[in-house]
Amino acid sequence: MGWFPCSGPSKQTSKKKNSVDSGRHSTDKLKSKNSLRSKEVDKDAGSNQIAAKTFIFRDLAAATKNFRGDFLLGEGGFGRVYKGVIESNQVVAIKQLDRNGLQGNREFLVEVLMLSLLHHPNLVNLIGYCADGDQRLLVYEYMPLGSLEDHLHDPTPGKERLDWNTRMKIAAGAAKGLEYLHSASPPVIYRDLKCSNILLGEGYHAKLSDFGLAKLGPVGDNTHVSTRVMGTYGYCAPEYAMTGQLTLKSDVYSFGVVLLEIITGRKAIESSKTGGDFNLVIWARPLFKDRRKFSQMADPMLQGHYPVRGMYQALAVAAMCVQEQPNMRPVIADVVTALTYLASQKFDHETRGGIQTSRPGPATSPRMKRW
């Protein structure tokens, strides 16, 4: 869940990013500019009000038994996440930011603001926050199935691997969360889409989390926003990494990387024993050009239990999302349409005898626009 400049290797830095004052200035600017209204925003949530509850540090320490080790859910460059129980016996996830870590006061304030104003079934729910002295904590709804990364790349022994239907459901859910952000007014660029930031609830319901790097997107005649290049190595769009020019299509590229991970089971970046890094997009691009090699890209853990046509269509969506030229990538709304269709096509390998061996006909999923 941590982040670092995405123009270089995945090395973390302990440099503090911003002062409290700069964070407050940024948040005030966001409040004044951003109504963040959309059809699916909670109608009871005022667009200029922080709806999240304020906690004191003592109560959150009690909720986690003083941040006991067996309550730890995970950790990263930002700090640690603990499972806790607050009043009314509500189970929550509590993120305690490392005071010397990667997420500074500005990112803390941005995340509180964003998740207080943005409400959607595919965004994690922020219950409250704590800014007690120098302590910075965020309290979220508890997601019992952990992150997509846990299931794809770090499964515990004996854990059942994700089947094809579940993978498409997760992909469609994550895309819907991103579509909601992009359709806000003004649009919101997530900027840190990756497997570890996609959390899973009951029934593998996907929700996006960690909004500290989110930025307001371009409005009016502006085509991009210029910003310091931040994100996670392997997921950053190439034009953003090189120029710092951020657009909605930057998120679409990151989503394409995640979709490739979902299909292949491989990480976006892997260290090679022979030196250098394995880059998932670079590996996949030549394979996209030859449909006869598509089966080589399927996660071996699927054991051949996937619909050939559906897998081809999912790979086609991923290939469009990771195009080098941003104007060649689809808008996220069209990605949602395609993946919702694929998620609705339930595959039963027992009744259909495994994967189809005949050459699939033309794709029947909705066509996607690239503008």
- pLDDT of 125 reads 94
166 with 69, same domain?
no
Determine, yes or no, domain membership for 63.
yes
Strand partners, 41: none
Among residues 126, 138, 128, which one has the least CA distance to residue 97? 138
CA–CA gap between residue 81 and residue 331 (Å, rounded): 33
Determine, yes or no, domain membership for 23.
no
CA–CA gap between residue 235 and residue 221 (Å, rounded): 27
Q: Residue 116 sits in a domain of what CATH number?
A: 3.30.200.20
Q: Which domain holds residue 115?
A: 53-141
216 with 171, same domain?
yes
CA–CA gap between residue 84 and residue 104 (Å, rounded): 23
pLDDT tens digits along 348-370: 866 654 444 334 444 444 555 55
Joined together, the tokens standing for residue 319 give 């290939």
- pLDDT of 148 above 80: yes
84 with 162, same domain?
no
169 with 75, same domain?
no
pLDDT tens digits along 110-142: 888 888 889 999 999 999 999 988 899 999 999
248 with 327, same domain?
yes
CA–CA gap between residue 51 and residue 365 (Å, rounded): 40
**Do residues 365 and 341 touch, judged by C-beta distance below 8 A?**
yes
169 with 300, same domain?
yes
Q: Residue 283 sits in a domain of what CATH number?
A: 1.10.510.10
95 labelled ligand-binding: yes
Joined together, the tokens standing for residue 169 give 């459901």
* Structural domains of the chain, count: 2
Residue corresponding to tokens 């940024």 = 26
129 with 243, same domain?
no
Determine, yes or no, domain membership for 277.
yes
136 with 258, same domain?
no
Among 141, 162, 194, identify where a domain stops.
141
Residues 192, 210, 299, 334: which is the catalytic one? 192
Among 141, 170, 196, identify where a domain stops.
141
Among residues 120, 117, 177, 128, which one has the least CA distance to residue 148? 177
Q: What percent of the chain has pLDDT over 70?
A: 77
- pLDDT of 263 above 90: yes
Catalytic residue flag (residue 192):
yes
DSSP state of 159: P
